[in-house]
Amino acid sequence: MSNYVYCVTRASHPLPLEGAVGVGEHAPALRLVREQDLVAVVSDAPENLRAKRRDLVKHDAVIGRAYAAGTVLPMRFGMIAPDDEAVRTELRSGARRYGELLSRIDGHVELNVKGVYAEEALLRDVLLQNDQLRVRNQALRAAGGGGHQDRVAFGEQVAATVAERSARDAGQVIARLQPHAAQVRRGPPVDGCFVNVSFLVASGARPDFDGALSRLRRELPGYASVGLYGPLPPYSFVGNEAEK
């Protein structure tokens, strides 16, 4: 049977996983596959695996328990290996890379920051600050909404202005917080967010990061707010995509 892989860590990790179960309807037991100085946490992979909430929660719970006791390289949901030997082969061939990654993230946490706009307040400010858009908006109102093409053109101009502000405000978020992080990784676009970015932060740098975040919240325009999510296992920093 194929293996579902949760995380990779050093063989010295205590891995307090008693009572934890794996993903799948039958809650398979967790097992350890060891190779030299590394160990992978696995379970039997369920058939027809889907990203159901139940299994996403189990996946995160296994990694969370391991992460709470020491540094781990968390795998994304759905990582499957053919068998134990395939896992050992991967640990053996990637030993140097895994070791370097574990050393790099040791003593660090992932902090995710998402920025959102209060849309009505944002649009009011866009019209207040842009004379051309304000005049066109007033003309459309006076014309009972205007023609279809006029409305489309106006909407495109507003969208372009909002996109410019989003880029500006996202840049400000990163510029203020990046000095307090070892690495930065932009996340995928999220509906309703002008920025989705993760920071790899050393435990000792957390107070400085939190202070910078507090100052940032005061600096952003009133229609923008940022939320902090974490600390999290460093999902975003186990590959080669980090920006710093």
Task: Note the pLDDT of residue 174.
Answer: 97
**Nearest of 199, 237, 192 to residue 216 by alpha carbon:** 199
Range with lowest mean pLDDT among 30-34, 45-49, 75-79, 85-89: 45-49
Residue range 96-142, pLDDT digits in tens: 999 999 999 999 999 999 999 998 898 888 887 777 777 776 776 77
Range with lowest mean pLDDT among 65-74, 147-156, 221-230: 147-156
Residue 213 has pLDDT above 50, yes or no: yes
Give the C-alpha distances (Å, rounded to integers) separating 84 from 10, 21, 31, 73, 122: 17, 18, 10, 18, 54
For the four alpha carbons of 183, 208, 103 and 23, in that order, the dihedral sign comes to negative
Task: Note the pLDDT of residue 145.
Answer: 66
Task: Note the pLDDT of residue 241.
Answer: 45
Residue range 184-204, pLDDT digits in tens: 999 999 998 999 999 999 999
Higher per-residue confidence, 112 vs 165: 112
- Rounded mean pLDDT of the chain? 90
Give the C-alpha distances (Å, rounded to integers) separating 93 from 86, 89, 99: 10, 6, 11
Residue range 34-76, pLDDT digits in tens: 999 999 999 999 888 888 899 999 999 999 999 999 999 999 9
Cβ pair 22, 44 in contact under 8 A: yes
- Specify the DSSP element, H or E, that contains 110: strand 108-117
Task: Note the pLDDT of residue 162.
Answer: 84
Q: What is the DSSP letter of 178?
A: G
Task: Note the pLDDT of residue 101.
Answer: 94
Task: Note the pLDDT of residue 150.
Answer: 67
Can you name the residues that pair with 197 across neighbouring β-strands? 113, 186
Task: Note the pLDDT of residue 97.
Answer: 94
Task: Note the pLDDT of residue 242.
Answer: 45
Measure the CA angle with vertex 66, ends 61 and 68; round to 5°. Answer: 95
| Residues with Cβ within 8 Å of residue 74, at least 6 apart in sequence | 6, 7, 63, 67, 233, 234, 235, 238
The Cα–Cα gap between 40 and 32 comes to 6
Task: Note the pLDDT of residue 43.
Answer: 96
